[in-house]
Structure 1
């Protein structure tokens, strides 16, 4: 997908996000297509077309992926898939579409230096989930966050807080190439592996590694993650580690929900989390239909 198409997808997402917020607030009323369209000041025909362009399915179909019944069913199925993956010896690395993600934590000495002497290249780019800030070092991606209503300054501050001693240089061209690789929809060619460089406690890093094993289209609970890393009762600590994830989307913290099936708050907005879960569910459903067809 080219940069111009990402710009279109990002523009579409702004309206999709508004509609999802409306669905969140009025879910029990099961809003109609016309009611959803009215919230973003479009006719139901234009809204339906825009939504299908962004998600690949209709808003009504998408809303089904947000029901408690659906998320509870996915929790049960996903838990079985994760157990199978662990039994097969998969840990520490994961697969996202055709992306192979490798994971590297900083050394204790580097952790203590808080990025002092580290050169970071960053840039703002459009994605299907709105504008993002992506930052890299010579060893890999060290930050990926999304720009919310607060604007770019908040995202830059989060990057600075994560690597306070670093030298940060904006270079859009190099960052854009990586963003295109991450969000590409063309699976004809498997891209080069993407390496992540993260800074966290041993517990946080173990949680983030566990997140990488969650397959696309699946959701798991905080308890599931705790059990996977050998701390089944540390639900609150797991939740805190998930919330501190510095590399959104690639380390898929959006795939962790409450054991009740409820989709909780997200560092970059609950509507964006629902959008990611729903879009991945749609992609999985479409692939399944294509395989059957």
Structure 2
């Protein structure tokens, strides 16, 4: 028991010390991200070796220092293009050498090119359709690389589609209910191995969604548990936002995340459906 108390005290002091260092590093990166500082420069600001800094920063922030700088650059380029900037001007706004680097940045962060992002999805093609599922009428959004969304037609199909298409309203959407039914059978009736997913989200969202995939069927965790896994327990609110933005119901199991007091809260497709999913998993387990 004494050893446990001493370990906890050490962890608290270490966490406090790391916070101060990471706070300094975040300030440094926030001030100099356009210069794309390397790992050594950021580590010196934190007073740590590059290896130790990489590990501590990634644990606290949920991203490596390089990916964090990339996220800042991507946000700046995104904002510039939303204001009408062309790709060359957006590249300079993001501190990049040219459109080629901007292309790589957008592929990494959104899985689309800068031109597709600027045109709000023009040039992207999705198949969508409806099919029955154990939890009500499902709406499936399918990209060439895999499933992009699985939603439910509540309260009606128009509302569900408006929700799914809001991110890229200029994309091409072709309805094919037979294709949706094939995906529904593959997901819910057993199919040909793992389901390929084509997800469009920020690095932080994808980090949280990957953590959701680690929750075993029939088990539940809290938002705080997920926050502790991807960053720090104090990030529970940010984790909640990322969980709420999950576009793929059931397969990315955000229904297994509960409030700290065990309540069934915060499910995008309704608490009743969340309860049904958990009961379904408990029975099949």
Shorter chain as denominator, the TM-score bin is 0.5 to 0.7
1:119-158 alignment runs, 5 A limit:
119-148=125-154, 150-158=155-163
Length-normalised TM-score, structure 1: 0.57
Separation in 2, partners of 1:167, 1:233: 40
Partner of 2:164: 159
- Post-superposition offset of 1:166: 0.9
Unpaired runs of 5+ residues, structure 2, are 1-107
Separation in 1, partners of 2:225, 2:170: 35
Larger fraction in strand: 1
Question: Which SS does the other structure have where 2:198 is aligned?
Answer: strand
Aligned residues: 176
Partner of 2:232: 231
Question: Which SS does the other structure have where 2:269 is aligned?
Answer: coil
Partner of 1:207: 208
Larger fraction in helix: 2
Question: Which SS does the other structure have where 1:235 is aligned?
Answer: helix
Separation in 1, partners of 2:166, 2:232: 28
Separation in 2, partners of 1:215, 1:263: 18
Question: Which SS does the other structure have where 1:206 is aligned?
Answer: helix
Q: Which has the higher contact order (CA 8 A, sep 6+)?
A: 1
Separation in 1, partners of 2:219, 2:203: 25
Name the Cα RMSD after superposition: 1.8
Q: 2:258·2:264 contact (CA, 8 Å) conserved in 1? A: yes
Partner of 2:113: 109
